[in-house]
């Protein structure tokens, strides 16, 4: 379902009204957009009640848990997971924090709300699984462990993250520059993995960025990823209008649309702005004019400069992912991160080596002590 497109609006340049983010009350996220009512399928498949693993990998070795019993009335989800709490909800799915009965670990399971209404609807839903599998090994994309279908609905078992960036930003209120640049680096690395494959995400927003326990940001929700190699733009879908690039309203789809959305998300983080879905400020942010001074006064100049470049109304004038990764601040941060990881790996390797050597020396000492005691026992034993 496409977001409603904002309407153009005439305005005076100096007249803007906007609000800043406030800490969200518990469960506000679930009521932000009401989901559609659950619709039953027109034609149920005979085998729909049995769980079937879904995978598009080359080896296609997706298997269901061994504890699943097809003959029991409970679903695979009910048999294999203990549902703990709901952690997210959108128009098409719900996300639950669960504990696996197979390995005892915590995961997130995304469950589609609607049944497959047709073969084409099913294929579109399963396409998200294909995309997740493509990026599942990237450190800045959410990892998919397993997907299955049952009762004409799709389930995806994914890594559990602490919260999404929208909740994180509301809790923090004001993020330091270094943190914002670090978040941008995480997302640029994730976007590069898509853009290098000629894919565009089309739904970059704080709700679709998850934060792990160690603070790493990971891109999620690949439901409307579009393949630019497919020239038929009729199947492309716009994401949230608050983050939408202006050219998408004219049906122009390029990688630059993701850069624009990331620029708006960066502005949101840097200013603590409650993004407009339409109206005067929405138009101003897509006009190419400088940011309103009362909005930009608390943003550092380097951030203002890069945000302004990323939200340029002309797609061809926006920097690419590779160009942004070469920005001096981003590049410096990336090099520091690489050196830190090399150091951590070296420290871990040295620790393992010392541990193994320590174990060897301990065995050698124990062997020498045993030999000494045996020799002492022989010498001290009375001779007949």
Examine the residue annotation and report whether 14 is marked as an active-site residue of this protein.
Answer: no
| CA 240 – CA 226 distance, rounded (Å) | 15
Sign of CA dihedral 98, 99, 102, 108: positive
| CA 315 – CA 68 distance, rounded (Å) | 50
Instruction: Read off the DSSP letter of residue 20.
Output: E
| CA 209 – CA 187 distance, rounded (Å) | 8
Question: Is 111 assigned to a binding site?
Answer: yes
Of the candidates 152, 203, 240, 258, the residue annotated as catalytic is: 203
Q: What sections of the chain are H helices per DSSP?
A: 28-31, 76-80, 119-135, 165-172, 177-195, 256-271, 280-284, 293-296, 301-310, 321-325, 328-380
172's tokens: 């923090």
Element (H, E) at 145: strand 144-150
| Three-class DSSP category at 227 | strand
Instruction: Tell me how far CA of residue 80 lies from CA of 64, 114, 126, 191, in angstroms.
Output: 10, 22, 21, 33
Q: Which residues are annotated binding-site positions? A: 111
Positions marked active-site? 203
Q: Which residues are annotated binding-site positions for ATP? A: 111
């Amino acid at each position: 379902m496409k977001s409603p497109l904002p309407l153009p609006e005439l305005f005076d340049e100096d007249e803007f009204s906007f609000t800043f983010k406030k800490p969200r009350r518990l469960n506000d996220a679930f009521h932000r957009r009401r989901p559609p009512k659950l619709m039953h399928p027109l034609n149920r498949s005979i085998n729909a009640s049995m769980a079937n693993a879904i995978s598009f990998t080359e080896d296609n070795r997706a298997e269901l848990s061994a504890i699943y019993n097809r003959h029991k009335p409970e679903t695979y989800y009910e048999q294999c997971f203990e549902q703990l709490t709901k952690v997210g909800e959108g128009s098409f799915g719900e996300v639950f924090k669960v504990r696996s009965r197979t390995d005892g670990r915590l995961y997130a399971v995304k469950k589609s709300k609607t049944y497959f209404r047709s073969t084409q609807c099913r294929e579109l839903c399963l396409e998200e699984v294909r995309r997740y599998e493509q990026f599942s090994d990237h450190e800045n994309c959410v990892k998919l462990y397993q997907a299955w279908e049952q009762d004409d609905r799709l389930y995806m078992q994914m890594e559990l993250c602490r919260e999404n960036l929208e909740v994180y930003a509301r809790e923090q209120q004001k993020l330091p520059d270094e943190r914002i640049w670090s978040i941008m680096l995480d997302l640029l690395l994730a976007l590069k993995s898509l853009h290098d494959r000629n894919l565009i995400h089309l739904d970059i927003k704080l709700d679709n960025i998850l934060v792990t326990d160690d603070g790493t940001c990971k891109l999620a929700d690949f439901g409307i990823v579009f393949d630019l190699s497919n020239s038929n733009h009729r199947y492309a879908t716009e994401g949230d209008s608050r983050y939408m690039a202006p050219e998408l309203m004219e049906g122009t789809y390029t990688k630059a649309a993701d850069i624009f959305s990331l620029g708006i998300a960066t502005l949101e983080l840097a200013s603590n702005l409650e993004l407009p879905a339409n109206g005067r400020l929405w138009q101003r942010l897509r006009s190419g004019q400088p940011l309103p001074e009362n909005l930009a006064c608390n943003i550092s100049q380097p951030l203002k400069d890069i945000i302004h470049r990323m939200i340029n109304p002309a797609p061809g004038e926006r920097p690419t992912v590779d160009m942004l990764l070469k920005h001096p601040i981003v590049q410096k941060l990336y090099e520091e991160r690489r050196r830190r990881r090399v150091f951590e790996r070296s420290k871990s390797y040295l620790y393992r080596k010392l541990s193994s050597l320590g174990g060897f020396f301990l065995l050698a000492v124990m062997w020498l002590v045993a030999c000494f005691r045996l020799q002492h026992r022989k010498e001290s034993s009375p001779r007949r």
